Amino acid sequence: MNVIIIPARMASTRLPGKPLADINGIPMVVRVFRQARAANIGPVIVAAAEAEIADAITKEGGESVLTDPALASGSDRVHAAIEAYDPIGKFDAVINLQGDLPNINPEALRVVETTLEEGGADIATLAAPIADPADYDNPNVVKPIVAWESGGQKGRALYFTRARAPGGEGELYHHIGIYAFTRAALRRFVALPPSPLEKREKLEQLRALEEGMRIDVARVGEVPLSVDTTSDLERARAVIR
């Protein structure tokens, strides 16, 4: 059984109060919650670092778990929430959905769920072809290097980098930071210390690869809007109704 957990905290460096940022009358975390619920693949829980986030979800009729604001990462927050919500281990897979993706396509969540269930990986995630060549060298666009299976719809992650990679001719991909973990893999992952490549690239998924964990990647057609700055928020207000 699967559960979707949305980690959310108010103390964003670039956009303080981000989870409750208003997008045309609806807090961003509520919009993410609604998209997750529309996927219809299991319960949706918000791992809230502050009570005001939990209150917004309660008003929406949803469930939340209060977590320690001092937790180091979203993955740590997701782990704390699932252990509190399901201490007996009824749910054997956990989807970590970032709380700053207000227009995430519910189908993307179904794809990452299926990729984990069918592939035998520890972790599953998503990628889409980079549409704008200007993003090839953009360090904010993380590129997965994937050994794609025949047909190019799914493959095994070999590396993730902020650099332009791989070299040579062919498509480059934009990593979408949604992760489906087996419950055992999530426990193992958060127990590990940050790895050398993780610290160098500032990408926590490299911790899993350095530990020998398998990450499968599924190809999807679009990159959801990620709200990290004031300009991103204005764009979200312009495109989401």
For residue 212, pLDDT beyond 90: yes
CATH architecture under which domain 120-223 falls: Alpha-Beta Complex (3.90)
On the 0-12 / 13-18 / 19+ scale of CB atoms within 10 A, 212 is exposed
For 100, which DSSP code?
T
For 226, which DSSP code?
-
pLDDT recorded at residue 95: 98
DSSP 159-225: EEESS--S-SSS--EEEEEEEEEEHHHHHHHHHSPPPHHHHHHT-THHHHHHTT--EEEEE-S-PPP
pLDDT recorded at residue 235: 95
Residues in the chain: 241
pLDDT recorded at residue 119: 80
For residue 33, pLDDT beyond 90: yes
CATH superfamily membership of 1-104: Spore Coat Polysaccharide Biosynthesis Protein SpsA; Chain A (3.90.550.10)
pLDDT in tens, 74-117: 999 999 999 999 999 999 999 999 999 999 999 999 999 999 99
For residue 12, pLDDT beyond 90: no
Cα–Cα distance, 124 to 32 (Å, whole number): 20
Cα–Cα distance, 83 to 214 (Å, whole number): 23
For residue 1, pLDDT beyond 90: no
pLDDT recorded at residue 14: 87
pLDDT in tens, 142-198: 999 999 998 889 999 999 999 999 999 999 999 999 999 999 999 999 999 999 999
pLDDT in tens, 16-31: 999 999 999 999 999 9
Cα–Cα distance, 111 to 113 (Å, whole number): 5
Cβ 4 vs Cβ 76: under 8 Å:
no
- Domain limits of the chain? 1-104, 120-223
pLDDT, the chain, mean: 96
